[in-house]
Amino acid sequence: MIEAHGLVKRYGSTVAVNDLSFSIRPGMVTGFLGPNGAGKTTTMRMILGLDAPAQGSVTVGGRSYRDLPAPMREVGALLDAKALQGGRRARDHLLCLARSNGIPRRRVDEVLRIVGLEGVARRRAKGFSLGMGQRLGIASALLGDPAVLIFDEPVNGLDPDGIHWVRTLMRALAAEGRTVLVSSHLMSEMALTADHLLVIGKGRLIADTSMDEFVRSSSQQSVHVRSPGAAELAVLCREAGATVRAGSTSRAAAAPVAGPDPGTAPDVIEITGMDSAGVGNLAAAHGIALSELIPVRASLEEAFMELTRESVEYQAAGAPR
């Protein structure tokens, strides 16, 4: 259980995290999602006591991280797989961490076996690939057999096999009743791993929702219609309770009807809240000719981008908004 109340973190004049409150429950994988620079890592650093919040507080199991009597036994964390000294053998790296929390030596060999690094235990970490480094980082998080696990972008640099392995591991850890917090900037990755979603953008909480709910609300179907009588059909659909937006040939640039979006075509509309059969019947009943009638399903990735569109920190010049 991780609980944050009104967390604020500033770096100079930049507000990295702004009034963030959440509670992360055990027994499930919570995906911490947001674009680059949204404040995910900063938030995790505050949970782990590396950064002090300017305001607010965060506790793990009811206690501030610095007050935990045996931190590694309660929280396992992987922030940065490169946060180790390359001159040290993998096994010694884990051993010095184990010793600091009174964890017996045999557990070191155990976690090396779990992450599949027992064969390179005596190799110095600087010769490790990014994927092996990631596995070593995960091994250190598992050392204390903790009830809470925090992983920052754990699949970075992993091959498909490694990604699958991490995904399965997260699910297994959550299934054992542990609290698992995993950050990512990839919705597609979270869709396969997380039960619950915490979405942040520009340091603010945008959504705190179960994965199922997010999928349900975002995979809402819409209907793309091209018709010479689009304006008339729009009025009829609104009367029938549906939502109508001006459409365009490229579906991504959906804007309100009134918007002066140059990309909108006057004869194209997007209708939500009514299926394609409903729209077709309505058009037929009023003698409106349809030249296109296409049911459209938004992907999770698009739903996520739509959600965080306003809060993307670094945006390519001329990117469609």
Partner 1 sequence: MTDAMIARTGPDHRAAFRASTFGDVLWSEWVKLRSVRSTFWALTVTVVLGIALGAVISAATADAYARFSVGAKLSWDPTGVSQSGVAIAQVAIAVLGVLFISSEYSSGMIRTSLIAVPKRGRVLAAKSLVFAGVTFVVGEVVCFLAFFVGQALISGHAPHAALGDPGVVRAVAGGGLYLTALAVLSVAAGAVLRHPAAAIAAMMAVLFVLPLIAQALPDSWRHPVTEFWPTQAGGQLTNVYHSAHTLQPWPGFGVMCVFVAIVYAIAWTLLDRRDA
| Contacting residues toward partner 1, per CB under 8 A | 45, 48-52, 65-66, 68-73, 75, 77, 79-80, 82-89, 92-93, 95-97, 99-102, 107, 110, 113-114, 116, 140, 142, 144-145, 147, 165, 168-169, 172-173, 176-178
Closest CA to 284 of 236, 238, 223: 236
Separation of alpha carbons 97 and 115, rounded Å: 16
Question: Closer CB to partner 1, residue 12 or residue 241?
Answer: 12
Would you say 251 and 296 are in contact if contact means Cβ atoms under 8 Å apart? yes
Least CB distance to partner 1 at residue 93 (A) = 8
Residue 162: partners with Cβ closer than 8 Å, 6 or more residues away: 131, 134, 135, 155
Least CB distance to partner 1 at residue 52 (A) = 7
Least CB distance to partner 1 at residue 290 (A) = 52
Question: Closer CB to partner 1, residue 96 or residue 294?
Answer: 96
Least CB distance to partner 1 at residue 216 (A) = 29
Question: Closer CB to partner 1, residue 76 or residue 247?
Answer: 76
Q: Where are the beta strands (DSSP E) in 202-288?
A: 204-210, 221-226, 243-248, 264-272
Separation of alpha carbons 33 and 18, rounded Å: 16
Least CB distance to partner 1 at residue 294 (A) = 42
CB count, 10 Å around CB of 171? 17
